[in-house]
Amino acid sequence: MKAVFCEKLGSPEALVLREVVSPVPGPGEVKVALRARGVSFVDVLMIAGQYQVKRELPFIPGGEAAGVVLETGPGVERVKPGDRVLVPGGFAEETVVAAQRVTSLPDSVSFETAAAFRSSYCTAYYALQRGRLLAGEVLLVHGAAGGVGLAAVDMGKLLGATVIATASTAEKLAVCQQLGADHVINYTQGFRDQAEAIGFTIGGLARLDPAREKRNFAILMGWLAAGRITPYVSHRLPLARAAEALQLIRERKVIGKAVLV
């Protein structure tokens, strides 16, 4: 199977596509044929060695993907070959993961949408919880056309807020409006920064409050299955063009998410 490798830290051009032996699932593991992989700003940081979590070289970049179960190892009962699933997979044709990290995908959710969803929506949802957003309040989202930003716009509307979105181009602001933003501001024409940010990591939330992380993810999967939230994908590229997808993110050309299909 083919996979994209980061063999030295740096920019996306250094990534290499290699043919490697197809992985075999061990006890409690599941092998998945990936159909779509989400590409995030976090991946740009990770391959540059600038993310807070450092991975040992060489590694396959990417953190979220969707596909079809090919094979299960001994002792796996919760999924079977042929099931459509969401997994923490990377930029590869196949991956092997522990069965408890596999989420079944409702038929109503496409592979692309699923791959574009998890990190952005979980991050934005927890941020809205931390901000204690209530229906009827006004939500200001800076960087609103990014993956996390658009997720905040989408869920801000679902939760009943009036949403103000800021971004750098008319095209980005149009997508914010498409996802429901009530007001849009091109901040390049001047904006006095009045918002506060609270930092956290989703990995951290899973460690600090696993019950909340699980509950939030179940809520978001329910909204996704019912079509109440709409992850936006502006760019779809083949796996072999992973470097280009990361470069598009660096150049701020991606709106919402880029996906490798």
Ligand X SMILES: NC(=O)c1ccc[n+]([C@@H]2O[C@H](COP(=O)([O-])OP(=O)(O)OC[C@H]3O[C@@H](n4cnc5c(N)ncnc54)[C@H](OP(=O)(O)O)[C@@H]3O)[C@@H](O)[C@H]2O)c1
Q: Which residues bind ligand X (CB under 6 A)?
A: 40-42, 45, 119, 123, 143, 145-149, 167-168, 172, 200-202, 249, 252, 254
* Smaller CB separation from ligand X, 36 or 99: 36
Q: How far is the CB of 109 from ligand X (least distance, A)?
A: 20
* Smaller CB separation from ligand X, 76 or 151: 151
* Smaller CB separation from ligand X, 21 or 211: 211
Q: Are 38 and 243 in contact (CB under 8 A)?
A: no
Nearest residue to ligand X by CB is 146
Q: How far is the CB of 123 from ligand X (least distance, A)?
A: 4
Phi first, then psi: give them for residue 23, nearest 5 degrees: -70, 150
* Smaller CB separation from ligand X, 35 or 172: 172
* Smaller CB separation from ligand X, 73 or 180: 180
Report how far residue 195's alpha carbon sits from residue 188's, in angstroms, rounded to the nearest whole number: 16
Q: How far is the CB of 145 from ligand X (least distance, A)?
A: 5
Q: How far is the CB of 139 from ligand X (least distance, A)?
A: 16
Q: How far is the CB of 210 from ligand X (least distance, A)?
A: 15
- The contacts of residue 54 (CB under 8 Å, 6+ apart) are none
- The contacts of residue 259 (CB under 8 Å, 6+ apart) are 36, 37, 38, 39, 112, 115, 116, 233, 235, 236, 237
Integer-rounded Cα radius of gyration of the chain? 18
* Smaller CB separation from ligand X, 236 or 252: 252
Q: Are 153 and 176 in contact (CB under 8 A)?
A: yes
Q: How far is the CB of 56 from ligand X (least distance, A)?
A: 20
* Smaller CB separation from ligand X, 67 or 143: 143
Report how far residue 197's alpha carbon sits from residue 50's, in angstroms, rounded to the nearest whole number: 20
Report how far residue 16's alpha carbon sits from residue 28's, in angstroms, rounded to the nearest whole number: 30
Q: How far is the CB of 178 from ligand X (least distance, A)?
A: 15
